[in-house]
Amino acid sequence: MALDLMEFSGKLLRYREQMRLSIAEISASTGISGDRLASLEAGNTPPTGDEVLILADFYKCDYRFFVSNEKLAPFEQTEKMYRRYGEEFSKSDRWVVQEFLFLCECEDFLARTLQKPRTEFRYEPTGRYFKGQGEDAATKLREHLGYSDNRVALDVYSDFRKIGFHIFRRRLDNSNISGLTVPNPTTGPCILVNYSEDIYRQRFTAAHEAAHALMDQTDIVVSFSKWDSKNLVEIRANTFAARYLLPPPLVRRLPVKVWNESEIARWSMDLKVSTLALGIALKENGIIGEDTYRDLTKVKVDTGLKTDPELDGLTPKVHERKKILLERGISAFYASLCFDALNDGVITNARAAEMLLIGEEELPELAELFHVKSGLYD
């Protein structure tokens, strides 16, 4: 099929506008001259094969997006998102979203190629009671994953990856954005959690976004820390997160006779939830009254005492290095997929480095950090 120049030029222009870039900025990053880029955007000349690959690499998208006349879902979805929430996303945050979608595509490719097991879970909401749907979905997913009714789900990131969700944590400039969910029909649900949030809040956001992935499957959802309390979809997602992290049987069996500041702080850390989330659960289960609830939810847990399920048990040096990687989206789970594929000859050194968002010369250091034989990458 011949390349449709107007379709190609339109995509090129829309991508640049979506990312709020100037031709000069793209030229500086790609090595393609400004005049040449302007000509390509105007549809005056066809691109070379190398130019297509360079531009696809720059925008971290599949090169087929530019040469196919078909519309590809991620681009169309983000374009709609920026039309609606454009002012919420800085230029930097737009690049974070772009890299996040790239990581999701890479993870899906690696998991499928390496035939990594996943357990399918689907939930179809019934009835009109949104809060009840959230409660029911949380109960059914916990059962599906083999949790008893009073077992704590500590590593929610692992839980949601088991059912095929691509979940990454990245730091966003806009602290008012908690997370977002992209229902990609090719890779499956993609969830971004804002790493700038409190560690415990990130867990809640991950569960909140998982609810959107399960029950709101038509378009991108952007979740804000300040939300409309009358929004039924958000109420459902919050209910799901609360019930998944703090199921009523667990809350009712907590061995506390009198709830006070020390107890709320202690159990907040043990359960890895905020005092607010725990306070709400205690009040909803009739364990504390309104006055006690107001007092206990004012208690703040020292951030330095909080632990991240994906960083537990590490030495200080390794913890700090992996934390830096994690806030850029590179979890141990994702890194292991990349190195497994590299060891199996599925991808090259250069492709592995691209997938890990690093330079090829950094592979040995990263391999050592994740306890992979580094001699393979010298």
pLDDT digits (tens, 9 = 90+) for 289-339: 999 999 999 999 988 888 888 998 888 889 899 999 999 999 999 999 999
Measured between alpha carbons, how far is residue 298 from residues 105, 114, 183, 202, 273 in Å? Answer: 41, 47, 36, 19, 14
Q: Two tokens at 249?
A: 């049987």
- Can you give the C-alpha Rg of the chain in angstroms? 23
Domain boundaries, the chain: 5-70, 72-245, 247-298, 316-377
d(CA 122, CA 137): 9
pLDDT tens over the chain, length 378 residues? 578 889 889 999 999 999 999 999 999 999 999 999 999 999 999 999 999 999 999 999 888 888 876 666 678 888 889 999 989 999 999 999 999 999 999 999 999 999 998 898 999 998 889 999 999 999 999 999 999 988 988 899 999 999 999 999 999 999 999 999 998 888 899 999 999 999 999 999 999 999 999 998 777 899 999 888 889 999 999 999 999 999 999 999 999 999 999 999 999 999 999 999 999 999 999 999 999 999 999 999 988 888 888 998 888 889 899 999 999 999 999 999 999 999 999 999 999 999 999 999 999 999 999 887 644 555
Handedness of CA 174, 356, 103, 168 (dihedral sign): negative
pLDDT digits (tens, 9 = 90+) for 3-14: 888 988 999 999
Q: What is the pLDDT of residue 266?
A: 95
Handedness of CA 170, 176, 177, 178 (dihedral sign): positive
d(CA 180, CA 286): 33
Please give the angle made by the CA atoms of 342, 347 and 353, to the nearest 5 degrees: 75
Return the CATH architecture of domain 5-70: Orthogonal Bundle (1.10)
| CATH class, range 72-245 | mainly alpha
Q: What is the pLDDT of residue 348?
A: 95
Q: What is the pLDDT of residue 66?
A: 86
Q: Two tokens at 217?
A: 């499957």
Q: What is the pLDDT of residue 73?
A: 61
Angle between helices 232-245 and 199-215 (to 10 degrees): 120
Token pair 């990349």: residue:
338
Q: What is the pLDDT of residue 200?
A: 94
Residues facing 188 on adjacent strands? 184
Q: What is the pLDDT of residue 1?
A: 58
pTM for this predicted structure: 0.92
